[in-house]
Amino acid sequence: MSAGDRDGDIGDLFAIAARELRTVVRTPAVVALSVVFGLTVVAVAAAGSGARGGYVPLVLDLVPFVEALVPLLAVALCYRAVLSDRESGELDVLRTFDVSRPAYVGGVYLGRGLALVFVVFGSLLAAGATVPVLSPPDPTFLALNEAADSPVAFLRFSVLAVLFALAVAAVALAVSAAARTARQAIALAVGLLVAFVVGVDAAAVAGLASGNLGIDAVPLVLAASPNGAFRSLVLGVAVETGGSTSPVAALAGLVGWVAVALAVAVLTAWRPVE
């Protein structure tokens, strides 16, 4: 592959990413969903007792909601991205420009991913900003226990939430590339959502109960689902309550989902003409 090809690929990638961003902004349903997501996250901060105390309790308040809502948002953004291009014929038009599959899939992922990152990170930062507003000032006559709470924990949590969102988005993108009909896409997307949010954890519990799974293997099973990996990372790295298990497995799990899902998307976007 020549240098010119690579420049061309990257140019294609950003052109497609720009197109995706425009599409997202012009889709009222997605904008509405993003607003609902942002409001929900801030409302949880306001409704819970965490934001009135510190960053760590706010993280713990937000974890279950982020775990359920971020995959929903990511799937909503991506589950038909490639499929709708294919169904509308835009994909065929794009192919006449000799766009490579990685450039196309990368562009779609980048464009949708950027939108997702703005919504997730922005909402979480807004929720985090309620802490200094809602918590009472510290009395000056007492020594502060600096080990107890820190905005660093919240920043870590936010970065992990973005990583989690990107992993689920990649999976949803793979669904949109692999599915041949809208019905297939929605069935696959909902199936994966249920598996991530409930299924893998429930299966792990069932495995423990039946004795087929040792407690030692639980971190690995959790690392195998984006939700489990995200949760392990938050508890183990962001708020440091989960003991001393190495975060490597969970991190590898998240990155692995991105890599595998994007590879599937590239391979299934279209069949290359020999």
User: Is residue 102 close enough to count as binding other proteins by CB under 8 A?
Assistant: no
Task: Kindly tell me which of 140 and 210 has the beta carbon lying closer to other proteins.
Answer: 140
User: Assign residue 219 a region: left if phi > 0, alpha if psi is -120 to 50, beta otherwise?
Assistant: alpha
Q: How far apart are CB 47 and other proteins at their closest, in Å?
A: 6
Q: According to the binding rule CB under 8 A, does residue 18 interact with other proteins?
A: yes
Rule CB under 8 A: say whether 219 interacts with other proteins.
no
Piece of 77-85, 89-97, 174-182, 232-240 that binds other proteins (CB under 8 A): 232-240
d(CA 262, CA 90): 20
Axis-axis angle for helices 151-178, 182-194 (nearest 10): 150
Residue placing its CB nearer to other proteins in the complex, 56 or 82: 56
DSSP 216: G
First to last CA, the chain: 17
How far is the C-alpha of 113 from the C-alpha of 173, rounded, in Å?
10
Q: What would the x/- binding string for other proteins be over residues 57 to 86, using CB under 8 A?
A: x--xx-xxx---------------------
- 188/227 Cα distance (integer angstroms): 17
> Based on CB atoms, which residue is closest to other proteins, 33 or 159?
159
Out of 100, 123, 158, 268, name the contact with other proteins by CB under 8 A. 158
The number of angstroms, rounded, from the C-alpha of 120 to the middle of its chain's C-alpha atoms is 9
Stretch that binds other proteins, among 29-37, 54-62, 176-184, 205-213 (CB under 8 A): 54-62
Residue environment code for 228-238, b if the CB has 16+ CB neighbours within 10 A, otherwise e? bbbbbbbbbbb
CA distance 245 to 187: 35
Residues at the interface with other proteins (CB under 8 A): 11, 14-15, 17-18, 21-22, 25-26, 44, 47-54, 56-57, 60-61, 63-65, 110-111, 114, 117-118, 121, 134-136, 138-139, 141-150, 152-153, 155-156, 158-159, 162, 237-238, 240-241
